[in-house]
Chain A
Amino acid sequence: MYKKVLVTSLVSLGLLVGGPLSATAEEMPEGTIISAENLDKVIDMTFEGKRVGDMLPGKYEWMIRNHHLKIPVRHSEPVPMDPKYMEWTQKSKETVKFNPSDRTVSGWEAGMFFDPQDIKMDDPHAGDKLIWNLRGPTYGATMDLRHISWVFLDAHKGMERIQRWWAQRYYMEGRLDGGPISEGDGTILQKTVLVATYPQDIKGLGIFSIRYNDPTAQTPDDTWAYLKSVRRARRLTGNAWMDPIGGTVQLYDDWDIWDAVPTKYKSTTLIGRQWIFAIAHAPLMTVDLKYKNTIQEFPAVGMDIPPHFFPAPQVQWEPREVWVIEGIPPDEHPYSKKTVWMEVDYPRPYYGEALDQNGKFWKSFIFQNRRDVGDDGYLATMPVVGHIIDWKAEFSTTWSSNMKANPAGVEADDVTLKKLISIAR
C-alpha cells in the first residue's frame, strides 16, 4: 500500500516537475510564423532540438513583441562553400601568422585566413581572426551588386523614396576565379565603385575607393567622389569608410554589416557561439524590374506591412550556428559598439546591432543571404538584401540587389575612377 502511494506520489511529482520540461521539449512545427501573438506559446518550444527563445538574439524578441517582426521558420540546410575556398583555407594554416602585438596577419593568399574549426572560445584573439576571415573575398573575387537600390522606409508612413545605384567591388588579393590569385603589385586589397543612377538629382554621384593591403590599417583608403553636377572628380577624406552611404542610414562600414579590417577597430572580441534564426536561403528574385518603382519591385521586403522594413512573409528563417563578435570602433566612428552574429563555418554575417556614442541601442542590421553560382561556376554565399534600421528615427534604408558573384568579363581595369566617370555620364 505504502509502496503504491509512494509510486503514485513519485509519478505525480514527476508530472509536476516534468510537465514544463516536456512542454519546452515540444518541437515547433516547420512553417510556424513566430510573432507577437504566439511568442509566449512557442518561446519554450524547441526547433531542431534547440529552444526557440535561445535562438532569438539581441533585439529579436523586442522587435517581435513591439514592432511586429514576424519570423516564418524553415528547417536548416547546409550551405557548403566553394571547394577552392575551403582548400585554400587549409593551405592557409601553414602560412598565415597572427601577430598578437598589433593584431595583424601575414602570409595569407586566399580562402579564409583562419580555419573556423580551429577557433576556440578562450582564444583572446578569436574576434580578430574571425573578422579577418570576413575581410577577405568571401563571396567571389568580384562582386556585382546588380540592380542595387536603397529604399527609404518610414516605420509609420512606408516607402518614402528610392535611390538606385551601380556597384562593383574587385578584390586584388585572394582571387579564386581561375585567374591569378593576386593581381597588381600586392599593395591593394580591393577597389570599389558605387554610383547613383536614380533619381535625377543624384544620378552620376559616385565614389571610387581603394583599400590598401595594409594589415595595420594605417594606410587610409584613397577615395574620390565624382560630382556630376560639376562634372569633376574630387578627392575625399580617407575616413569616408565610416561615413553614411549617400543619405542612407547605412555606413560604408556597414557594407557587409562589418566592412572594416579588425585593426581599424580598437578591439574585436568573440563573446559567444550560439544558434539563431537567420536568413540563409533568401528568395532567388530580390529585385523584380517588371514592377519598377513600386513596392512589388522588392519582393523580399514587406513594404506593405508596418513597419514596412522587415523581411517579407515569403522569406524564411532557419537555425544557423553563429559566432557573436563585438567590436569597439575608433572614437570618431558614429558607433560606440557593433555586434555581429556570423556563421560559424564561414564568414557570413546574418545579423548585427550598433550602439550610438552614448551607448544606447541605435541600429539593427538584418541581412538576407543566399547561394549564387558565379559565371565561372564559383559557389558563393552572399547577402542580397540588407535591412539597416535606425531605431531612433524608426526609419530604415533597406537595400535589395540581384547580386552576382564573379561576373564574366570584369577585370581590374573595370573598377577604376575612369569607370566611375564613365558610368556617371
Chain B
Amino acid sequence: MKKYNNNILKAAGFLLCFGGTVATSSVMAAESPACDTCSGGMFEDWDVRLSGYARTYFGLGLEDHAETPENDQFDFTMARGTLLLDWGLDTGWAFFKMINRYDRELETDYIDSIKNQTSLNPSGALLQGTAIRGQYLDQYNTDHLQEFFREYYVDFGLFDDKLTVRVGKQQLVWGESDFFQAMDLVHGFDYRWRLFFEDNQDWRKPLFLVNFNLDLYDELGGTLNFFVRPGLDRDDDVGSNFNIEGGRWIPHPYRGVDFTAFTQYNADHTDGSQDDPTFGVRWNSTIGSIGYSVAYLRTFNPAPIMNPAQGAGGGPSGTSALFGVTEQFSFGEVAQNPVLGDWIYPHINVFGVSANGYSATIDSTLSAEVAFIPNKPFNFGSLRSSLPGWSGVKTKDTLVTMFRIDKEFKLTKWLGTNRPSLSSVQLFDTWILDHNDSDEIVEFASFGAQKREHTAYLTIFSLLNFKRDTINPTFVVGTDLSNGGGFGIAAVEFVFGDDWRVKVEADLFWSDGDEKKTAGNGTGLTGPCTTCLNPLGTPENDASLFDWFADDNQLVLKITRQF
C-alpha cells in the first residue's frame, strides 16, 4: 500500500511540475502567430495541439467454449469504449507530451458467463471471504491515475541539440520484428484485452524512462541511444500480462479461472524487482546503404515465470502435490504465495544486432534481427501433473532470430488498388542453445508441451489500398512451424472523411488438435467435486501456443471518431 501511494505521489509530483511549468510561464499567454512567414512549420512557438479519438469496440465470439455451460457462440466477448487525448506543447526550448486514455467496458454475456464459472469452480470457492477475484472488468477499465496518464514526457536538447533527452513515461521501441519481440523488450505488453491484434502502441505498457540520444553523425555516422529506467513505475507496469487473472484471453481451458486466486504477482523478487533500475544502450548507424543497430539491454523477462511455492522441508507445497507436482524448487528466493507460488519477471540481459537494406535485384527490402539472451528463465518439470512447468525455473542461453522480406506488389491492374501493396514474409525463431529434452522446459507454466529446441513462427501479411486509401483490407496469416497451428486475420478499414473510421475484423485460429481439455472431475483444491470442472484441465503434454486459442475465432467491429 505504501508503495502504491508512493507511485501516486510520484505521478502527482511530475504533473505538478508539468502544470506548474505551463501555468507560470508568461509566454503561454502570447497569441499564436498567424502565419505566413513565421518560423517553425510543424509547431509554431508556444503552440498547443490536441488530437485524439473516441472509439468503441465490439467483439463477437464465433465458437462455443467448453469451460462454460452456456452456448457462447455469437455472444459478445467485448464491448469497450475508449477516449484518447493526445496533447503536445512546444515551447521552443522543450516539447511536452501527454497521452491520456480512458477505457470502459460493459459486462457482456460472455464475461458474465465466465464470471459465474469463477464462482463455481474451486478457485472461486477458495476465495470465499478472502479477496475479491474474478472481477474481470477491473483489468479492462481505467481505474488508476497512471492508467489514465498513459504517457507524459518532456523532450529537450542539450549542447546545441547534440544530446536530446526525453524524460517521463514513454514508449521506447527497439528492434525490427513484427508480431513478436526480439529486441522490442524495453516494455511489456498487455495481452489481456485484445491479444495481439491492435497497433502495438496501444497495448505496449509505457514506462518512466530517462532516455538519451547522442547525435554522432558528424563524428561516427550514427546515433547512440541510451536509457535508464530508474524504477519509478508501478509494479503492474513491468512485464507482459498473459491474462493470469482470467478473462476473455486467458488460454483455454482456463476461462473462468482466476490464477491470482492461488498465485500472485511478485514485483519485489530479488532477481526481478521493479525497484531495480533497468537500462540499455543502442548504436544505430549505416554501412553504405545498409542500416544496422547494435544494442545491449537489461530488462524484465517479457513472460511471467512461476516461482513455485514450497512446502515444509523443501518439497512441493500441499496444493501442488494435490495436483500431482512431485518436486518444486524456488527460484532465488521462496515464493510469497504459499498456495501455488509467485509470478515473477526475472531480469534478463539481451545483446542484439539488427540490419536492414534494400535489394534492387529483387526489388525488396530485407531486414534481420538477432538477439542473444544468456540465461533466459523457463519453467520446467512435472509434465504429467495438472501443473506442468511448476517444478521451478531453469535458465538457458537463447538466440532469437528474425529474417523478413518486404515487397511491394503492383496489383492495380488486377485488383484496382490505388497503390502498390506492401506484403511481408517474416520468419521468427527462438533457439534454446543447450536444449535437452530431459530439462522438461515448457513454453508457459500450466501447459505440458515441452518447448522445442527451435520454436519458429512464419507470418505473412499483405496490405491493400483502394479508392485513395479509403478502403483498406489487411490480410495476415501466421503459423507455428514447430508445433502446428496458426492464426489468420482478415480486416478491412473504411475511411469516411476526416473524422470517422470503421474497421471490421475476423480473427481466426487453427490448431493441430492438441488443445488442453477441461477436466470432468473436480480433483483439486477442495477435493472431489461433482458440480464443477477441475479448473486446471486434463493433464496433457501437447498444447502449444495456438492450441491455447483454438476456439477463439471472433469478429471485431471498431468504430472511431477522431479529432
B39-A237 in contact (CB<8A) = no
B498-A161 in contact (CB<8A) = yes
Q: Which of B41, B217, B358, B470 counts the most A-chain CB atoms under 10 A from its CB?
A: B41
Say whether A32 faces chain B, with CB atoms less than 8 Å apart.
no
A332-B410 in contact (CB<8A) = yes
A 207-221 binary contact with B (CB < 8 Å = 1; else 0): 000000000001110
A243-B563 in contact (CB<8A) = no
Given contacts A197-B42, A200-B51, A416-B217, contact A237 B364 (CB under 8 A): yes
B 171-206 binary contact with A (CB < 8 Å = 1; else 0): 101011010000010000000000000011100100
B468-A395 in contact (CB<8A) = yes
Within 8 A of B (CB), among A323-377: 332, 334, 357
Say whether B263 faces chain A, with CB atoms less than 8 Å apart.
no
B468-A235 in contact (CB<8A) = no
The residue of chain A having its C-beta at the shortest distance from the C-beta of B225 within the complex is A418
B41-A146 in contact (CB<8A) = yes
Distance in angstroms between the alpha carbons of A215 and B76 in the assembled complex: 60
Say whether B562 faces chain A, with CB atoms less than 8 Å apart.
yes
Given contacts A247-B465, A423-B42, A425-B95, contact A237 B217 (CB under 8 A): no
Residues of A within 8 A of B434 (CB): none
Interface size class of B (residues with CB under 8 A): 35 or more
Residues of B within 8 A of A280 (CB): none
Within 8 A of A (CB), among B270-311: 289, 291
A 222-237 binary contact with B (CB < 8 Å = 1; else 0): 1110001111101111
Distance in angstroms between the alpha carbons of A395 and B499 in the assembled complex: 20
> Which of these, A248, A357, A409, A425, contacts B468 with CB under 8 Å?
A248
B501-A231 in contact (CB<8A) = no
Distance in angstroms between the alpha carbons of A130 and B155 in the assembled complex: 45
> Which of these, A161, A195, A249, contacts B497 with CB under 8 Å?
A161
Given contacts A230-B173, A232-B173, A418-B223, contact A220 B95 (CB under 8 A): no
Distance in angstroms between the alpha carbons of A382 and B410 in the assembled complex: 33
B51-A243 in contact (CB<8A) = no
A397-B468 in contact (CB<8A) = yes
The residue of chain B having its C-beta at the shortest distance from the C-beta of A425 within the complex is B97
Give min CB distance, B440 to chain A, whole Å. 36
Give min CB distance, B29 to chain A, whole Å. 20
Given contacts A230-B200, A357-B413, A397-B468, contact A162 B360 (CB under 8 A): no
Within 8 A of A (CB), among B403-449: 406-408, 410, 412-413, 418-420
Say whether A244 faces chain B, with CB atoms less than 8 Å apart.
yes
Chain B residues with CB under 8 Å of chain A are 34-37, 39, 41-42, 51-53, 86, 88, 95, 97, 155, 164, 171, 173, 175-176, 178, 184, 199-201, 204, 213, 215, 217-218, 223, 289, 291, 356-358, 360, 363-365, 367, 406-408, 410, 412-413, 418-420, 465, 468-470, 495, 497-499, 501, 560, 562-563
26 contacts between A and B (CB under 8 A): A146-B41, A147-B35, A195-B42, A199-B562, A200-B53, A203-B86, A220-B358, A223-B358, A230-B173, A230-B200, A232-B176, A236-B406, A237-B363, A237-B407, A247-B418, A247-B419, A247-B495, A289-B35, A290-B34, A409-B39, A413-B215, A413-B217, A416-B217, A418-B215, A425-B88, A425-B97
Chain A residues with CB under 8 Å of chain B are 144, 146-147, 152, 160-162, 166, 168, 195, 197-201, 203, 218-220, 222-224, 228-232, 234-239, 243-244, 246-249, 284-285, 289-290, 293, 332, 334, 357, 393, 395, 397, 402, 404, 407-409, 413, 416, 418, 422-423, 425
